[in-house]
Structure 1
Amino acid sequence: MKPTSLILAIVASSLLSACIYINKGGDSNSDWEKAERENKAVISSLQIDTAEADIRSRLGEPDFSEGYSDKDAAVRVLFYRTQRQKEDGITTKDECTPLVFRNGKLIGWGAKAYSSNQHH
């Protein structure tokens, strides 16, 4: 083999290896797994009466939100993704943990808090 051909073969092989490595590095599954782990960690450390703004600053924008008036109180429910149900690339409410606020203060989180504070 000529030295020029050998050099081209080595360079081509190196470039192909780099392409394969770059593609493996962009694993989107790790993004949602990381977000779920971080959301769970923050939610597990929450305290009742924490201001909604404080929680939003820690968790960011929710995946879903709901709001309504209940007597003289403003109720807001923020949903953050914490557990994947299907590998469809779509986040649904059943993959989220609801955080329930009354007049801007956290009053509970999880299924029981959500169901007991739904507007009827």
Structure 2
Amino acid sequence: MNKKVITRIFLALAAYGIFVILVMSFYDDSPDKMQWEDREAYNRQFIAKLQLEQFTFEQALNELGSPDITEARKVDSDKFQVMFYRTQHVKSDGITTQDECTFLLFINGILKEIGLGDNYPKNWGIVESYQ
């Protein structure tokens, strides 16, 4: 092989390596930018690894992005925040409902409970059990 071919191969590999490094450094692969199928899978896998009382509200926003549905209530000095993330496809209607989500219950910013959205206690009945 002549020197020109080897030089061109080396330059192509170097350019490819630089491209890969730039993409990995600057491309923001956040859940908000994913297709809905990919985001569901990401949410399922991420939520499955969570440990109660070891995960915060801020971490949820950073790692999972904006919730699909959210509710909040303050009772006395306690702040209750429930975030619903879509984790299972039920019906192709373009609307995300609680039965398609997994909920994360945060009390004073700390994760206290994880469950399927359709098992979410109605009328904030869960609040009384934490008092």
Alignment of 1:7-26 (within 5 A): none
Question: For residues 75 and 109 of structure 1, do their structure 2 counterparts lie closer, same or farther at Cα, with a shift above 3 Å needed?
Answer: same
Aligned residue number for residue 63 of structure 2 = 58
- After the TM superposition, which of the residue ranges 108-117 and 56-65 deviates more from structure 2? 108-117
Aligned residue number for residue 32 of structure 1 = 36
Aligned residue number for residue 10 of structure 1 = none
Query: What residue ranges of structure 1 are gaps of 5+ in the alignment?
Result: 1-29
Normalised TM-score (structure 1): 0.67
Aligned partner of residue 79 in structure 1, secondary structure: strand
Aligned residue number for residue 15 of structure 2 = none
Distance 2:114 2:126 in 1: 10
Distance 2:126 2:109 in 1: 14
Aligned residue number for residue 7 of structure 2 = none
Distance 1:111 1:35 in 2: 16
Aligned partner of residue 90 in structure 1, secondary structure: coil
Structure 1 residue 104: Cα displacement: 0.4
Alpha-carbon contact 2:57-2:111 (below 8 Å) kept: yes
Distance 1:75 1:83 in 2: 24
Alpha-carbon contact 1:48-1:106 (below 8 Å) kept: yes
Which one has the largest radius of gyration?
1
Distance 2:106 2:57 in 1: 7
Query: What residue ranges of structure 2 are gaps of 5+ in the alignment?
Result: 1-33
Distance 1:78 1:97 in 2: 8
Normalised TM-score (structure 2): 0.62
Q: How well do the aligned residues superpose, as a CA RMSD in angstroms?
A: 2.2
Q: Does 1:45 align with 2:54?
A: no
Query: Residue 113 of structure 2 is aligned with which of 71, 96, 108?
Result: 108
Identity %: 39
Aligned residue number for residue 126 of structure 2 = 117
Distance 2:83 2:99 in 1: 13
Aligned partner of residue 91 in structure 2, secondary structure: coil
Alpha-carbon contact 1:99-1:114 (below 8 Å) kept: no
